[in-house]
Structure 1
Amino acid sequence: MAEQLILTERRGHVLLIGLNRPDKRNAATFDMLRDLAAAYGELDDDPELRVGVVWAVGDHFTGGLDLADIGPRLGSDGLDFVPDGGIHPWQVDGRSLTKPVVMAAQGTCFTLGIELALASDIVVAATDTRFAQLEVSRGILPFGGATIRFPRAAGWGNAMRWILTGDTFDATEAHRIGLVQELTEPGKQLDRALELAERIAAQAPLAVQASLANARTAFREGDAAAEAGLGPALASLAASEDAAIGMKAFATRTTPEFVGR
């Protein structure tokens, strides 16, 4: 039986999604990307799941794409690997996850690893992590969202410094420019990512999803579109069971147990 390239594990309301090709530095094959997209679809579709944690088995997050496997599959429209029910892990096809993702990186985090980070909501990295957007050194361009998201996350000059040179940079630089939100000792990155995910999962899920959706509307469509959606979103949330639970918990100084309704 073939080894699973993508591991999934449920821990309460959190779905762990693990890259599992450590002998190849988790370089992604077509099948691996397909299974990753399927895992993202599972996270999005299951109402019991509230947060995803993307991590990697072994010493490295990913060396990038396995070009020997991926290269021959590139067509006129790029790379089509998302199965029915799946969600593009880089979210560059017009559909975004409705739930947040926390990513934990270590070792090598090249190309698609950076783009997974940029498509995530919070990134934790071990201090030994090395990053590189290598595509220009391979004769192609980043096609997983780096050209769109990297300049917005890090600023134009910071993004172009790394996209246009293909140079490697360290975790301190990734943190400085905003690609990474927290640094940990090597080996502690997944624990910290899980802590953050569980903290998010303890909040009202409808409120978390509405906050994420409004922020993404601002990102994709501009401030005016996001502003127009604030009132209706607030009215909908205020009428929810979770809002009543939250208000009661505030009044009684107890910890709320949200139900997602």
Structure 2
Amino acid sequence: MSTLPPDSPSPLVLTERRGPVFLIGLNRPEKRNAATFEMLQQLAAAYGELDDDPELRVGVVWAVGDHFTGGLDLADIGPRLGSDGLDFVPDGGIHPWQVEGRSLRKPVVLAAQGTCFTLGIELALASDIVVAATDTRFAQLEVSRGILPFGGATIRFPRAAGWGDAMRWILTGDTFDAAEAHRIGLVQELTEPGRQLDRAVELAERIAAQAPLAVQAALANARTAVREGDAVAEAELGPALASLVASEDAAIGMRAFATRTPPEFIGR
């Protein structure tokens, strides 16, 4: 875990390396992890660190305390909203909702509990696998505050849940439970409360054990299909496969298959 001198304030976003898994923790539990401008800056910086470090293969986003997030701290964020939205990504960072700038090349598993409102849903939608405790409550509240979701929910929520289910929650601002989030595809796995982070780390470690170049190539091609269409993604399959076949990891994978031993991929 990140360490600081005794008189330093606690970071609003904690980071921890567990081998190739990078934990990114929201750390404002006294405010239900409501996000300030500074917290979003630290979160974007953590995403940039995950992307840039070749030793890191998977991210896990989680939250300290009983709640994932109550959403944006509008008292802090509201005055900073401009005609182009909210500009908080520092140099070297990556927008955690990935609605602008460079995209994260590595997968993210998200663990949610308690309250998961607004930006929490959008972080989930921008992640690749979501684990939630059964006591998690979700809400896309923006229309109740006179704004619209601006972190990708209008784009990704209908794609994940289908038009009707997405509009049911986006246009009403109503709260829904973890069972409903699982039913509509916002959440992939439910756990008992307190188990969500452990399960997210287990999934991340499972992903990290695979060939990292292959994981990143599969993720990139799937995103290309979503963002640019099937034909573009199909055209990229052959070149991507040829590049992977020539990698050292492909040789390692083939040897492991032939000898029936676990592969130890090196990311080259």
Taking structure 1 as the reference length, the TM-score comes to: 0.99
Q: Distance in 2 between matches of 1:85 and 1:94?
A: 11
Q: Distance in 2 between matches of 1:219 and 1:113?
A: 22
Q: Distance in 2 between matches of 1:212 and 1:144?
A: 20
Partner secondary structure for residue 132 of structure 2: strand
Asked if structure 1 preserves the Cα contact closer than 8 Å seen for 2:68 and 2:112, the reply is yes
Q: CA deviation at 1:94?
A: 4.5
Q: Distance in 2 between matches of 1:113 and 1:161?
A: 18
1:61-117 CA distances to partner (integer Å, 9 max, x unpaired)?
000000000000001100000000000000000521100000000000000000000
Task: Give me the CA root mean square deviation.
Answer: 0.4
Match of 1:242 in 2: 249
Q: CA deviation at 1:232?
A: 0.2
* 1:148 corresponds to 2:145: no
Partner secondary structure for residue 115 of structure 1: helix
Asked if structure 1 preserves the Cα contact closer than 8 Å seen for 2:59 and 2:109, the reply is yes
Asked if structure 1 preserves the Cα contact closer than 8 Å seen for 2:68 and 2:116, the reply is yes
Asked if structure 1 preserves the Cα contact closer than 8 Å seen for 2:95 and 2:101, the reply is no
Q: Distance in 1 between matches of 2:33 and 2:260?
A: 46
1:236-258 CA distances to partner (integer Å, 9 max, x unpaired)?
00000000000000000000000
* 1:95 corresponds to 2:135: no
Q: Distance in 1 between matches of 2:81 and 2:196?
A: 33
Query: Structure 2 stretches of 5 or more lacking a match?
Result: 1-9
Q: Distance in 2 between matches of 1:112 and 1:225?
A: 30
Query: Structure 1 stretches of 5 or more lacking a match?
Result: none
Asked if structure 1 preserves the Cα contact closer than 8 Å seen for 2:221 and 2:233, the reply is yes
Q: Distance in 2 between matches of 1:96 and 1:149?
A: 15
Percent same amino acid among aligned pairs? 91
* 1:110 corresponds to 2:114: no
Q: Distance in 1 between matches of 2:69 and 2:264?
A: 37
Q: Distance in 2 between matches of 1:93 and 1:46?
A: 21
1:186-209 CA distances to partner (integer Å, 9 max, x unpaired)?
000000000000000000000000
Match of 1:54 in 2: 61
Partner secondary structure for residue 104 of structure 2: coil
Q: Indicate how the Cα distance of structure 1 residues 94 and 218 shifts in structure 2: closer, same or farther if over 3 A, else same.
A: farther
Q: Distance in 2 between matches of 1:94 and 1:174?
A: 28
Q: Distance in 2 between matches of 1:93 and 1:158?
A: 26
Asked if structure 1 preserves the Cα contact closer than 8 Å seen for 2:138 and 2:176, the reply is yes
Q: Distance in 2 between matches of 1:96 and 1:163?
A: 25
Asked if structure 1 preserves the Cα contact closer than 8 Å seen for 2:94 and 2:101, the reply is no
Asked if structure 1 preserves the Cα contact closer than 8 Å seen for 2:61 and 2:109, the reply is yes
Partner secondary structure for residue 183 of structure 1: strand
Q: CA deviation at 1:156?
A: 0.2
Q: CA deviation at 1:185?
A: 0.1
* 1:128 corresponds to 2:135: yes
Q: Distance in 2 between matches of 1:31 and 1:23?
A: 16
Q: Among residues 79, 82, 92, which one is paired with 1:85 in the alignment?
A: 92
Counterpart mapping for 1:1-261 below 5 A? 3-261=10-268
Q: Distance in 2 between matches of 1:94 and 1:257?
A: 33
Q: CA deviation at 1:218?
A: 0.2
Q: Distance in 1 between matches of 2:37 and 2:64?
A: 18
Asked if structure 1 preserves the Cα contact closer than 8 Å seen for 2:256 and 2:262, the reply is yes
Q: Which runs of 4+ in 1 moved over 2 A?
A: none
Q: Distance in 1 between matches of 2:243 and 2:101?
A: 25
Partner secondary structure for residue 198 of structure 1: helix
Q: Distance in 2 between matches of 1:23 and 1:94?
A: 31
Q: Distance in 2 between matches of 1:127 and 1:180?
A: 11
Q: How many residues in Structure 1 have an aligned counterpart in Structure 2? A: 259
